[in-house]
Amino acid sequence: MMLKNQKAKIVYFVLTVLVFLIGSCDLYKEKTYDISGADLIACKQFEDSVFYNVSTVNLADIDTSLTHELVPNNVKRISDSLQQKGNIIKADQDTAYLVTLSSEDTTYILLETEIKSFIVFCTRPIGLNLLEESGEFVPVEDDIMPLETVSGCQVIQDNGQVEPRIKFRRQYKVKDVRILLQLFKTEQTKTDRFNLTIK
């Protein structure tokens, strides 16, 4: 009887260990993260070699009397000037933009959009403010970079290093069809040229 109980305990122990081992295998399976939606479209656009070229404009090239502090009270006038000069980007295009920042640290470009909720994607970190024609700053709705986007959209640099292609991703909700974009260089902005798309 005692021998039978010991055998039962051993069988029970072996079965418990097997169940634990089989169940824990799932913990160590390699997970895959698939990029999708607007992030996938942006990635494909950035992988392309054809872009719309556009430059930002220094505030002094619009009006020498303006300072950055006065911009919120002059959004419509600045937007009109940018529209006349052709310094415009549009949301939801089939091709991404190659943006060239002008010489100053803070520059401007006009966004024309029919969509009211969108994501701005860039291949470089950049400082960005959006202003409605009323002069109101548009708050960021979401600035979390999904793991799927980081791992699913990568580029191999000349030195062989693999890094994320999308380095800036922010979601906004706007009211107007014309939005003034204020771009400013940050410590991470290593170049005056980068790709941008809005989805």
Report the pLDDT value the prediction gives residue 189, as an integer from 0 to 100. 79
What pLDDT sits at residue 150? 93
pLDDT value of residue 152:
93
In the prediction, which pLDDT does 51 show? 95
pLDDT attached to residue 4 = 56
Give yes or no for a contact between 138 and 172, defined as CB atoms under 8 angstroms apart: yes
| pLDDT, position 158 | 86
Pairing of strands 117-122, 97-100: unpaired
140-142 β-sheet, strand order: 52-55, 97-100, 193-198, 117-122, 168-173, 140-142
- Parts of the chain with a pLDDT under 70: 1-33
**pLDDT in the model for residue 157:** 86
Per-residue pLDDT, 191: 84
Report pLDDT for 23: 55
**pLDDT the model gives residue 186:** 86
How high is the pLDDT of residue 187?
82
